Structure 1
């Protein structure tokens, strides 16, 4: 667990089991068949659809919505999966409000877009429930590819390579595949073990061997993989967490938000998961929001997100910010941590108000303190060790050697979004296929 139950103030079972079950139920219930057809009928089926351009995986959204409207959701799922093999999870976790739905013509005209995300979930869930996997492997090419990391980028890359007839070995350092889909998103966004169910469904393509508990740099090397395989794809994500650089951040009760979320995602009995009475989350992205909202749902009395810049600079979407405040989370902006106070365990966090000017972000000199028995750091992640032969640019992988490709959050193009990682993994697979076959 992130924090020991013996940590003062951080205890399990703040809410009864029934309340926890209700709090962590699916927060966006799926559409039924009638609701899906009604929602689909709102689409204008634009010829030059801006929603397609706004989707990182370029799904033909008007086509799949028309297929739902005509009563063929299985065909709609195939349209989605052709571009985004993790379309089921993306339907649940994508910030559609800032991507396809923000670009929707209905949004511009009426302020209410077509519910693209929920329609995508309806199509993919319908097809998966029926056991449909509409892809068949090409003839074996005899080529072997190693994929390091079983997150969205690695899984998308592996499936596309297998589809083209290559033999793929996926190496994952954790006990389960899925990456952030399994370990890094709020539990109420993906319920009933969907992340693993989607991986199992994806593996039906065949030609993919998954090995867990294998870590690059510890168990295998990039040089060794390059020698043993015809190509290597790195989708290793970001394993490190930035430090607060505030006095006392090593006090008991201060933890990484990503670890807390991972613990929660793997917990089979939420009544055993410790949470503080007064929780402070430092950061402004989706990880901060997910940690804060789930702390509240676990029974924390006060939960506060503190972000160093203005609210419009938060990387969490406005929709997610409003979801947090609706859950009872307070958001304080233009404040940076100065010190974590307490006698062994955290008791208060001191912040300085900030102002942004020509010289960047500066403290104003005015400070305040927040009561806290649990603090989560959510101020960004970094590469956790760099494989040999690679360079970095702005903390992301660059300067790839021959036979090596990379994608997802570990690269400069990564945006900490499942859908972007899928697009990069898919596109890398096409580049690898072209390099291996000359096609």
Structure 2
């Protein structure tokens, strides 16, 4: 079991949060690329939500055409660099690699993708440019992966694009909610800066859109509007004691950690509530920040968790303990967290039931809620004739990503309720094409 000391310097923080997928050097990339079989009708391409021509870009790397490889990647996925490291490649492209059927390690597609795009970004190679101005303007709400992909694609078609971002930094969860051992702030921001420099979209920071008047002004000033706002803060659970000090949401915890890094202090005993990938990240990060006891608590069995198996394994390897078939009843303490009262759960006639006769308290100094994020329903209600479903996500045309209000297009978490970065990148790109077809029909 790993045991981490609390980092007090940037160097110690970086050591505790060593990158899961470190950047390849030229030799590593050449030899890894040489392993590819360049399959016809390659299953890795089918497994990629953005359908990057993976055999082609790997062949280009192997023949020392790294710039060409980057062009192949970015042509399909405007967030190609970030996706190379944050994507769950083990269940997507690499999970589909034919080598898996031969008991041979799959091609490290994500790291090769990151190698090619990182090289091009660091050398500031020009591989695309904005299209000739067509006189039309598009507004984007949110500078997450969907919004950036939409803006990039729209600029290649000559649209003037303004992105309205509520926070002070771009890229949504990539820079605010993804664990630091998956990707660094520097790498996320360098990709956005590269795209912005060569394509020329504008980002207006600290510019939340939260009133009917602002919406009407956007509708008047722009030919089309893209909703890429993602999700909001962590949902409340309605537990007694949830308002006590040191009860935080997982996304907010990760965002603070990414900003403060070694300057953030994590208490000795932590309980993380949830069973998704974000819960695994929050638990693993707590351990890497020096917490002596981190308990991951989930209401059902390990097999029922939403997290990928490799994410759970990563948390356990960091020293996290897990507690299954428990549900939180109350957060106890005198003004400040002192523990969580749980009840055991059990399966009765195929349904999960809470056994109130079997309760206990786990002592802790910090409770992290990784129980899902609130939807942006308040914003959606400001827009006339915008259909949303009972999950509070926007309904769109599956091919054009146009909403019931024809001036609006949407993508990413706003339409799927929470998926991968690569899904958002695909949605944004295709929505820009849908907008272009609509405005030029």
Q: Please report the TM-score for the alignment, with normalisation by the length of structure 1.
A: 0.92
- For the pair 1:152 / 2:155, whether they are aligned, the reply is no
- Counterpart in the other structure of 2:411: 407
- SS where residue 413 of structure 2 aligns? coil
Between 1:192-201 and 1:17-26, the stretch displaced more is 17-26
Which is further off, 381-390 or 283-292? 381-390
Tell me by how many angstroms 1:136 deviates.
2.0
In the alignment, is the contact (CA less than 8 A) between 2:279 and 2:370 conserved in 1? yes
Equivalence for 1:294: 285
**What's the offset of the Cα at 1:391?**
3.6
3-state SS, counterpart of residue 189 of structure 1: coil
2:388 aligned residue: 392
Contact 1:247 1:340 in 2 (8 A): yes
Contiguous gaps of at least 5 residues in structure 1: 1-12
Return the match for 1:194 from 180, 187, 203: 187
CA distance in 2, matches of 1:157, 1:302: 43
What's the CA shift string for 1:141-187, capped at 9, x where partnerless? 11110011000000000000001111111110101111111111111
By how many angstroms is 1:318 displaced?
0.8
Pick which of 413-422 and 121-130 moved more. Answer: 413-422
Equivalent of residue 255 in structure 1, options 248, 254, 257 = 248
Q: Say which is worse superposed, 350-359 or 248-257, in terms of deviation.
A: 350-359
Q: 1:296 to 1:341 in 2, by over 3 A?
A: same
- Is the 2:340–2:363 Cα contact (8 Å) retained in structure 1? yes
Alignment counterpart, residue 368 of structure 1, candidates 356, 360, 367:
360
Q: Distance in 2 between matches of 1:281 and 1:74?
A: 43
> Is residue 407–residue 414 contact of structure 1 (8 Å, CA) maintained in 2?
no
Residue range with higher mean Cα deviation, 342-351 or 152-161: 342-351
User: What do the CA deviations read for 1:195-229 (whole angstroms, capped 9, x no partner)?
Assistant: 11111001123341211111112496333322221
Work out the CA distance in 2 between the residues paired with 1:232 and 1:420.
Answer: 19
Give the corresponding residue for 2:160: 167
2:132 to 139, 149, 152: 139
1:351 aligns with 2:347: no
Aligned to 2:100: 107
User: Which residue number in structure 1 is paired with residue 398 of structure 2?
Assistant: none
On the 8 A contact 1:166/1:207 being kept in 2, the answer is: no
Match of 1:9? none
C-alpha change, 1:355 and 1:195, in structure 2 (3 Å) is: same
- For 1:240, the equivalent position in structure 2 comes to 233
Once residues 156 and 166 of structure 2 are traced to their aligned partners in structure 1, the CA distance between those partners, rounded to angstroms, is 24
Query: Residue in 2 aligned with 1:7?
Result: none
Do the aligned residues in 1 keep the contact of 2:295 with 2:322 (CA within 8 Å)? yes
Q: Which residue is 1:419 aligned to?
A: 422
Contact 1:277–1:301 under 8 Å retained in 2: yes
How far apart, in 2, do the equivalents of 1:357 and 1:437 lie? 58
State the superposition RMSD in angstroms.
1.8
TM-score by length of 2: 0.92
C-alpha spacing 1:357/1:205, structure 2 compared with 1 (3 Å): farther
CA contact (8 A) 2:100 2:106 kept: yes
Shift of 1:296: 1.0
Deviations 1:238-283 (CA, angstroms, capped at 9, x unpaired): 113222232211111111111111111112xx34212111011111
CA contact (8 A) 2:7 2:16 kept: no
Aligned to 2:85, what secondary structure does the other structure show? helix
Task: Determine the structure 1 residue equivalent to 2:306.
Answer: 315
Q: Secondary structure at the match of 2:265?
A: coil
Q: Report which stretch shifted further, 424-433 or 386-395.
A: 386-395
Question: How far 1:406 moved relative to its partner?
Answer: 0.7
* SS in structure 2 at match of 1:303: strand
- Whole-angstrom CA distance in 2 between matches of 1:391 and 1:282: 32
Does 2:44 match 1:51?
A: yes
1:342 equivalent in alignment to 2:333: yes
Displacement after TM superposition at 1:16 (Å)? 3.7
Instruction: Name the counterpart of 1:432.
Output: 435
Verify the 8 A CA contact 2:233 2:249 in the aligned structure 1: no
Distance 1:206 1:69 in 2: 28
CA distance in 1, matches of 2:13, 2:202: 37
- 2:14 matched residue in structure 1: 21
**What is the Cα deviation at residue 193 of structure 1?**
1.1
Tell me how far apart the structure 2 counterparts of residues 357 and 137 of structure 1 sit (CA, whole Å). Answer: 60
Give the Cα separation in 1 of the matches to 2:104 and 2:365. Answer: 41
Quote the offset at 1:289 in angstroms.
1.4
> Structure 1 residue 279 and structure 2 residue 282: aligned?
no
Q: How many residues align?
A: 423
Which residue of structure 2 aligns with residue 77 of structure 1?
70
1:266–1:55 CA distance, 2 compared to 1 (3 A): same
* CA distance in 1 between partners of 2:375 and 2:117 (Å): 33
Name the CA distance, whole Å, in 2 between partners of 1:220 and 1:28. Answer: 45
**Bigger mean CA offset, 82-91 vs 133-142:** 133-142
The equivalent position to 1:126 in structure 2, one of 116, 119, 139, is 119
The answer to whether the 8 Å contact 2:6/2:288 transfers is no
